């Protein structure tokens, strides 16, 4: 098997051009080599991001990525389904009622604090209570 080396050379104007095409290669209008119907085969796995790869490599990587995404989605859907089923199975009031009771107790305590403060004629300044006038 022949190895074709594609090198860039400079012409008289100093611009880059390419070597004349080898067997099976043509030059395009922009002086790029093309492979008139020939295939690049037997490529090894890429070592650099810009390396060419073969179709098998692309298929393998696609399959790996596709399987990973599929697994992640099925786990996510399973978690969501479990949560929804749990909420449906149990009465929602058991989740909400304790929270409502806590809020009611806090509001009652705030109301007592406000009434006590108003009764003692205090005002909150900079986080410390100071007496406005003495009774």
Q: Is the pLDDT of residue 37 over 60?
A: no
Mean pLDDT of the chain: 66
Residue with tokens 């295939």: 39
Could you tell me whether strands 122-125 and 33-34 are parallel, antiparallel, or unpaired per DSSP bridges? unpaired
Backbone φ and ψ of 55, nearest 5°: -65, -35
Q: Tell me the pLDDT band of 3, cut-offs 50, 70 and 90.
A: very low
| Mean pLDDT (whole number) for 34-39 | 56
pLDDT over 70, % of the chain? 46
Predicted TM-score (pTM) of the model is 0.32
pLDDT of residue 1: 37
The Cα-based distances of 13 to 5, 8, 16, 135 in angstroms read: 23, 14, 9, 102
Tokens of 4: 């074709």
Q: Is the pLDDT of residue 62 over 70?
A: yes
Q: Tell me the pLDDT band of 24, cut-offs 50, 70 and 90.
A: low
| Mean pLDDT (whole number) for 9-34 | 56
Backbone φ and ψ of 52, nearest 5°: -75, 150
């Amino acid at each position: 098997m022949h190895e074709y080396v594609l090198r860039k050379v400079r012409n008289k104007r100093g611009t880059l051009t390419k070597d004349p095409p080898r067997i099976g290669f043509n030059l395009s209008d922009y002086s790029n080599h093309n492979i008139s119907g020939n295939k690049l085969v037997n490529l090894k796995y890429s070592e650099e991001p810009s390396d060419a790869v073969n179709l098998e490599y692309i298929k393998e990587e696609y399959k790996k990525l596709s399987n990973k995404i599929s697994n992640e989605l099925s786990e996510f859907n399973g978690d969501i389904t479990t949560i929804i089923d749990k909420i449906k199975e149990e009465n929602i009031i058991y989740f909400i009622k304790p929270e409502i009771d806590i809020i009611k107790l806090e509001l009652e305590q705030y109301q007592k604090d406000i009434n006590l403060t108003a009764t003692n004629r205090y005002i909150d300044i900079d986080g410390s209570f100071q007496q406005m006038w003495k009774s």
